[in-house]
Structure 1
Amino acid sequence: MTLRADLAAIADAVPAGARVLDVGCGDGALLAALQRDKGVDGRGIELSGANVAAAVERGLSVVQGDADADLADYPSHAFDVAILSDTLQAMRSPETVLAELLRIARTAVISFPNFGHWRVRLSLLVGGRMPMTAALPVPWYATPNIHLCSIDDFRALAAKLDVTVEGATFLSRGRRLTWAENLRAEQAVFVLSRG
């Protein structure tokens, strides 16, 4: 099974044999690929009961929980890598969630849609309407996104939290971009550590 481009970029950032917590793991596609291809010791937490059931059917260790509330229950330094894929923008408190991920794990890998993408800006400027893109495929009234951010907003939050950006991957229509092309990025994947 081929992973989506953002999940493949996340998988590239996870070392073989790592202890991994996938927060907002969905149906477990990424976690299953990491266990199969990299031999990770993986765990997941997911809000949707249907997704938890799908992940458990894959043979994964996934529990139902809310990242905004339940990360505090995990012990410090319990994992090598904590993953939050395409979920940060749906968190009630992104700042707290990032801090918790870096308390739980040595490294955090975060992906999110870039609301600073040129199509998003153009849609607002020309049409005066909230955009729909490949990374933002639903209308504004049906989206789970409550905290919209751009790549620069995320970098500023990382600096505020005194977090080190170890690396970043920028994606547009499934293609990886260079740092210089980040305004064209529909999605971003950041690798963070506590310096």
Structure 2
Amino acid sequence: MNQTPHSEARERFDYAVIADWIPPGERVLDLGCGDGTLLAYLRETKNVTGYGVEIDADRVLGCIRNGVDVIQIDIERGLSGFEDASFDHVIISQALQAMHATEHVLEEMLRVGREAVISFPNFAFRANREAIRAGHMPVSANLPYDWFQTPNVRFFTLIDFEGLCERLGIEVRERLAFDDQGNAVTDDPNLNGSLVFYRLGRAR
């Protein structure tokens, strides 16, 4: 039986994790939104309003099919079309590792949004270290591409990311880590966390 985008989104635990940080009725910007399923999920479960941002034409069409308002721009060039503090939350879900202009993207997220929510695969995860020890680049559910076809251009760890946030004056307000089975981990998340989530703001 074919699934609707909404039913597929309900099965993704990462959407639920993000939704827990988004109060009802907020204004949300989703960067690198793909076909818009996350924003559609937030609209359905949290009654949010807002936009998706996507550069790929096929994915933009997917957003339109899913009834998601989408703007086709390259987020690496900045978000100049949006005024300061236009949104309550700006999200980038499992796409930061595909960005070249990492610092600029983070700065822009916290210019146009009150808070940023970010998720990314932790390259220091235990299974990734084991793959490298065996002489291979890791391939997993959260890093699903072979080295010769991956869209990822940054391979970084939880510790790396927090170091960058500190250098940019970005406050880590909350962090969650999960293993490759979707179980929450608290013991040494840089080793045991496969996918990590951050709620960020400007340092007070």
Q: Same fold (TM over 0.5)?
A: yes
Q: Which amino acid aligns with 2:24?
A: A
- Equivalent residue for 1:35? 43
Identity in percent: 38
Instruction: Report the counterpart of residue 3 of structure 2 in structure 1.
Output: none
Distance between the aligned counterparts of 1:179 and 1:156, measured in 2? 19
1:154 aligns with 2:161: yes
Structure 2 equivalent of residue 69 of structure 1:
77
Aligned to 2:185: 178
Q: Which residue of 1 aligns with 2:174?
A: 167
Paired with 2:33 and 2:182, the residues of 1 have a C-alpha distance of 22
2:4 aligned residue: none
Q: Shift of residue 130 of structure 1?
A: 0.5
Residues 1:93 and 2:101 aligned together: yes
Instruction: Provide the residue aligned with 2:20 in structure 1.
Output: 12
Secondary structure of 1:180 counterpart: coil
- Kindly indicate whether the alpha-carbon contact (under 8 Å) linking 2:27 and 2:87 is maintained by their aligned counterparts in 1: yes
- Decide whether the 8 Å contact of 2:185 with 2:192 is kept in 1: no
Q: 1:161, CA displacement in angstroms?
A: 0.9
Matched to 1:149, the amino acid is F
Q: What's the secondary structure of 1:80's corresponding residue?
A: strand
Q: 140, 149, 167: which is aligned to 2:147?
A: 140
Amino acid at match of 1:11: A
TM-score, with length taken from structure 1: 0.95
- Greater relative contact order: 1 or 2 (C-alpha under 8 angstroms, separation 6 or more)? 1
Moved over 3 A (4+): none
Distance of 1:174 and 1:134 partners within structure 2: 9
Please report the RMSD computed on the Cα atoms of aligned residues, expressed in angstroms: 1.2
Q: Distance in 1 between matches of 2:13 and 2:181?
A: 5
Give the structure 2 partner of residue 193 of structure 1: 201
**Aligned-pair distance for 1:174?**
4.3
What's the offset of the Cα at 1:3? 4.1
Structure 2 CA distance for aligned equivalents of residues 164 and 100 of structure 1: 15
Which stretches in structure 1 are left out of the alignment for 5+ residues?
Answer: none
* Cα distance between partner residues in 1 of 2:126 and 2:40: 34
**In the alignment, what sits opposite 1:51?**
59
- Match of 1:143, SS state, is coil
Check the 8 A contact 1:6/1:174 in 2, yes or no. Answer: no
